[in-house]
Amino acid sequence: MTRRIKGHLQALENEAVYVFREVAAQFERPVLLFSGGKDSIVMTWLAQKAFRPGAVPLPLLHIDTGHNFPETIEFRDRFVEDMGCRLLVRSVQDSIDRGRVQEETGPDASRNALQTVTLLDALKELKVDAALGGARRDEEKARAKERFFSHRDRFGQWDPKNQRPELWRLYNGRKAPGEHFRIFPLSNWTELDVWQYIRLEEIPIPHLYFSHEREVVRRNGVLLANSDFIELMDDERPELRRVRFRTIGDATCTGAVESEANSVEAVILETGAARVTERGGRSDDKRSEAAMEERKREGYF
């Protein structure tokens, strides 16, 4: 049996699998946060490899903003079934209905910030002690110092000055009752690594990642998909463009890029030459210079 992958991707795969197994061993109620995006798809794929021939010993948790591209949900349900995983869904709409949060208003309204409350409520309800996410250190400056095992206090908050030193491959998952960990097995991957891995492993991903025609509006330098979820400003005229998404999140703030890339290979070629970071297409990061850091302190993933 020859391995399909070698070199640095094999090293990254081995590392991620090690982290998954460590989580299963050290925690009682871990969940894998599943957004439907390629990183969480790769995470699920790795989890399935880590525990084969056993089943993945942790459920997937989707925090649903309700502002989804329809393709995302269809894909999610099919993929989860194929992987033999258990899926839990908690929705922002519920949090709004129960009065836990208030919907933002105005043209830039987004449920991106609201989902933090839904997420923390869900973690509490499910008594989750470890939530695995697909975040990578290369995505944003504030993430460069993130640990594989990132400790959160009882309020789900991250204290950048109070993170534990992480040495060799000894991950310390000890905590007090009520606290939990965010865990990032893909910490050392870059966007290009993720794409190369998807290609070599032939992992299915939603079509939104490939070039397609879509009505978009340009706002603050970001191309947003025109949908029922966004409110057009007076001077905004939707236009038809060939675009693809580099991340898939809430439809109100996930930016598209103009692209002709219609296959994984084409996306890799484009990513290798890409001049804008992946998150550069997300309008929520641009709100302030230290935007990401602030949201992380509050418990954003």
Among 168, 177, 202, 213, binds another protein (CB under 8 A): 168
Work out how close the CB of 168 gets to another protein at its nearest, in angstroms, rounded to a whole number. 5
Which range in 105-113, 114-122, 165-173, 248-256 contacts another protein by CB under 8 A? 165-173
Tell which one of 93, 172, 227, 262 touches another protein (CB under 8 A): 172
Q: Look up tokens 């890029």; give the residue.
A: 257
Nearer to another protein by C-beta: 199 or 212?
199
d(CA 33, CA 253): 19
Distances (CA, A) of 283 to 61, 219, 296: 24, 9, 16
**Phi-psi region for residue 36, left (φ > 0), alpha (ψ -120 to 50) or beta?**
left
Nearest C-alpha neighbor of 101 from the set 131, 68, 63: 63
Taking CA atoms, 241 is separated from 172, 215, 218, 220, 227, in Å, by: 48, 6, 11, 17, 14
Out of 76, 175, 246, 295, which residue is the one contacting another protein (CB under 8 A)? 175
CA distances from 121 to 90, 129, 166 (A): 9, 13, 28
**Region from 29-37, 72-80, 162-170, 208-216 binding another protein, contact rule CB under 8 A:** 162-170
* Strand order, beta sheet including 149-152: 87-91, 60-64, 30-33, 130-132, 180-183, 149-152
Residue 3 or 237 with smaller CB distance to another protein: 3
Q: Which is closer to another protein, CB of 202 or CB of 228?
A: 202
User: What separation in angstroms does the CA of 255 have from each of 46, 99, 208, 244?
Assistant: 27, 29, 12, 9
Taking the CA of residue 33 as centre, how many other CA atoms within 13 Å lie in the half-sphere pointing to its CB? 26
Paired tokens of 92: 């922002």
Site string for another protein, 232-271 (x = CB under 8 A): ------------------------------------xx-x
Nearest distance, CB of residue 15 and another protein, angstroms: 8
Residues in contact with another protein, shown as a per-residue x/- string from 107 to 146 under the rule CB under 8 A: ------------------------------xx--xx-xx-
Neighbours of 195 (CB within 10 A): 23
Q: What angle do CA 255, 260, 263 make, to 5 degrees?
A: 95
Among 58, 71, 135, 174, binds another protein (CB under 8 A): 174
Residue 84 binding another protein, by CB under 8 A: no
Contact range with another protein by CB under 8 A, out of 44-52, 62-70, 107-115, 239-247: 44-52
Residues 269-298 close enough to bind another protein by CB under 8 A: 269, 271-277, 280, 289-290, 293
Query: For another protein, which residue of 28, 106, 170, 202 counts as binding (CB under 8 A)?
Result: 170
d(CA 8, CA 101): 44
Binding footprint of another protein on the chain (CB under 8 A): 1, 3-9, 11-14, 17-18, 21-22, 24-25, 49-55, 137-138, 141-142, 144-145, 160-161, 163-170, 172, 174-176, 187-188, 190, 192-193, 196, 200, 268-269, 271-277, 280, 289-290, 293
